[in-house]
Structure 1
Amino acid sequence: MRLPPLKSLPVFEAVARLKSFSQAAEELAITQSAVSHQIKQLETYLGERLFWRSGRSVTLTDEGRQYLDGISSALLQIERASEALLGHEESLLRLSVFSSFAVRWLVPRLPDLKRQHPQLDLSLEMSSANPVLSDRVADCFITVKPNSTAFSYELLYEERLFPVCSQDYWQKIRRELGLEEVTGDPASVSLTPAQVAEFPLLSTHSIYDRQGGDWEAWYREAGLALPASSRLLHSSHMLLSLEAARFHQGIALTNDYMLSTRQDSSDFVRLPCHSVMTGDSFFFAWKTSRRRERGIQLLRRWLVSEAIAGGLRPETLPE
């Protein structure tokens, strides 16, 4: 049986997944030169270049991508077979997460997490505000403030807001404005900010920490001021505004993760209008000193994979 240098395979997988020699070295608890040596050894054995390197940027070559596809499932099978034989202990983790992110995005995906990683026992700590990063609160976090130097962070989502309403309310808007859909798709018509202002605007206080701040930002993105005649209906939380929109009370501003997986997402219509970036970025955070804990890394990889699959973040982040 001819096998490649086996020690190099998990190193190759880590570099390919993290797109970084230094991050792979940190995760594997080896030096960056050891990572480079293992990759060079594997490339020499295969007779193919596996990565393109440009400064700090690392990308797979076509051959590297093909090789990763071929060995990933084999490595996973080896890992699972070894864990089963060793009787791998469960990892107990407390995750502090924003209530809206938990209810609308995370909880519907948890059955898949359990299928993939049955050894993970995840306990959710709901937070209405940005959580305090402390072991006393949780083992890991979803946060929008990556400001503690004691923690490491992985980007999940850069938030943007866009207007939505219920299916019935969209028909009301069309009737009152005399809009005709060419294809039955809301995107086939155009709705101006002035037309939006003719209907009740459901506002969420918590996004900008002031009443009407979300709609002010949305109009400002279009180079306009929020019309003085606007009828604002205030809620403290995006979940409440979205529920009000579901029950035909007006137009709400919401974000991608709120509508990404729930079966009721089809109850809503995304209006054919512009969106606005809030400036908030959602990160998975864990204490750097605990970076080698297997449960935390399994959860991190799963969250990133789901965020990419669901369109919350691109597969490759800009440098």
Structure 2
Amino acid sequence: MPKRNLPPLTALRAFEAFARLGRMNLAADELCVTHGAISRQVRSLERLCGVRLTQGPRNSLRLTEAGLSLAESLGGAFDGIERSFTALRSAAERELHVSCVGTLAMRWLIPRLPGFHARHPGLSIRVTEAYGPVDFARDPFDAAIRLAETVAGEGLEATPFLDNYHGPVMAPQLAQHDLASAPRLHTRPHRQAWREWADHSGVPVGPGGEHREYEHLFYMLEAAVAGLGIGVSPWIYVAGDIASGRLAAPYGFVPTPARFHFVTPRASARPVTTAFRDWLLEEASAAPPPPAAAVAAELEGDHIRR
């Protein structure tokens, strides 16, 4: 495409403001510059055009015929830009782009979003899977949901909204197996899950036998459903599967020090952000508590200590 042959935008803005407001000082106030800066931009534009755009004494300038023609064109062009910009900004104000750990998004957040949209039909939530440290200066997100003990960072505001519990889950047909005899399932990003559960529950699990590793937690959970072994999962990810009978959790769930946090830039006060935060807190308060352990006391005996 051919290169546009346009004068500097600063000169066009200065001239359009003067033509619309009628005085250099008013144009200067609108653009937050000096009277002299507006005058210099207008003179620069006249040199580029090769015609006079203003006439008369300096304290009572008026537009020439050429100036009136240019002002009319610029006014229409800037009006169109302003309308487009206002529409885009209005749409952006109604959308919240949230980065969220993938399994929570799939198994808890997204299934509940119809309730948010029913309550706030003019607002939109866009969810993107992400796991790393929150950096709103680098990443194109408006908010984030992370599972952590604390979320620290300059300029961040973190609201804990959901407690985290975890425990071993398995297909119902494996519910009578002890933890030492069944294959043990792991995820590559969180290989320490079994050790953490043992620390939090006080149940020694030993080295185990066969170990199977998966790239993501939701892969591991499907492997557990398929009867491939026993894995440790946060309660909130498997509540639906346990209620439907796809998974069993005979050892129950124990709390962890980590919680789910809703993270935003500290200066963010958009209505969509506030509405989503309030809705998250409400949904979390209504979340079902994890079940107590259903296994008998003997399951804490020697056969789970092997």
TM-score class, shorter? 0.5 to 0.7
User: What is the CA-CA distance between 1:130 and the residue it aligns to?
Assistant: 4.4
Q: Which SS does the other structure have where 1:243 is aligned?
A: helix
Change in 2 beyond 3 A, CA 1:95/1:222? closer
Distance of 1:256 and 1:100 partners within structure 2 = 12
Structure-1 residue corresponding to 2:145? 142
- The answer to whether the 8 A contact 2:235-2:253 is kept is no
Determine the structure 2 residue equivalent to 1:252: 231
Name 2:106's counterpart in structure 1: 103
Distance 2:201 2:280 in 1: 33
What does residue 11 of structure 2 align with?
none
Q: Secondary structure at the match of 1:269?
A: coil
Aligned-pair CA distance for 1:126: 1.1
Q: Which amino acid counterpart does residue 112 of structure 2 have in structure 1?
A: R
> Who wins on radius of gyration, i.e. which is larger?
2
- CA distance in structure 2 between the partners assigned to 1:288 and 1:221 by the alignment: 33
Structure 1 residue 134, shift from structure 2 partner: 3.6
CA distance in 1, matches of 2:253, 2:210: 20
What does the per-residue CA deviation read over 1:52-71, in whole Å, with 9 as the maximum and x for residues that have no partner? xxxxxxxxxxxxxxxxxxxx
Secondary structure of the equivalent of 1:94? Answer: strand
**Could you tell me how far 1:270 is from its partner in structure 2?**
1.2
Q: Distance in 1 between matches of 2:260 and 2:130?
A: 14
- Aligned-residue offset at 1:165: 0.9
1:97–1:127 contact (8 Å) kept in structure 2: yes
Name the TM-score, length of structure 2 as normaliser. 0.58
Alpha-carbon distance between aligned partners in 1 of 2:116 and 2:169, rounded to the nearest angstrom: 30
User: Using the alignment, how far apart are the partners of 2:248 and 2:287 within structure 1?
Assistant: 18
Which residue does the alignment assign to 1:9? none
The 8 Å contact of residues 185 and 230 in structure 2, kept in 1 or not, is answered as yes
Q: Distance in 1 between matches of 2:154 and 2:202?
A: 37
Alpha-carbon distance in 2 for matches of 1:150, 1:131: 11
Distance 1:111 1:263, change over 3 A: farther
Q: Among residues 170, 173, 182, which one is paired with 1:165 in the alignment?
A: 170
Q: For 1:205 and 1:279, how far apart are their aligned partners in 2? A: 21
**Structure 2 counterpart of 1:104, which letter?**
R
Q: Distance in 2 between matches of 1:261 and 1:119?
A: 29
Aligned match of 1:288: 266
Superposed CA offset, 1:250-305 (max 9, x none): 1111112202346985311111x2544443221111112122x1110000011110
User: So what's the TM-score if we normalise by structure 1?
Assistant: 0.55
Q: Point out where structure 2 has 5 or more consecutive residues left out of the alignment.
A: 1-89, 291-306
CA contact (8 A) 1:142 1:283 kept: yes
**CA distance, structure 1, for counterparts of residue 244 and residue 144 of structure 2:** 26
Any idea what the Cα deviations from partners look like across 1:46-95, whole Å, max 9, x if unmatched?
A: xxxxxxxxxxxxxxxxxxxxxxxxxxxxxxxxxxxxxxxxxx97711101
1:22 corresponding residue in structure 2: none
For the Cα contact (< 8 Å) 2:242–2:249, is it kept in 1?
no
State how many pairs are aligned. Answer: 198
* Selected match of 1:199 from 179, 182, 201: 182
Distance (Å, rounded) in 1 between the aligned partners of 2:169 and 2:145: 25
**Match of 2:237, as an amino acid?**
M
1:180-235 deviation per Cα after TM superposition (whole angstroms, max 9, x unaligned): xxxxxxxxxxxxxxx3211111122323xxx3x21122233454654234322122
CA-based RMSD: 2.7
The within-5 A match list for 1:210-221 is 211=191, 213-221=192-200
Instruction: Map 1:228-307; keep pairs closer than 5 Å.
Output: 228-261=207-240, 265-271=244-250, 273=251, 275-291=253-269, 293-307=270-284
Secondary structure of the residue that 1:260 maps to in structure 2? helix
Q: Is the 8 A contact 2:184 2:208 kept in 1?
A: no
Structure 2 residue 103 is matched with structure 1 residue 124: no
Q: Identify which of 153, 156, 164 aligns with 2:158.
A: 153
Structure 1: which 5+ residue stretches go unaligned? 1-87, 178-194, 314-319
Assess, with a 3 A threshold, how the Cα gap between structure 1 residues 107 and 222 changes in structure 2: closer, same or farther. closer
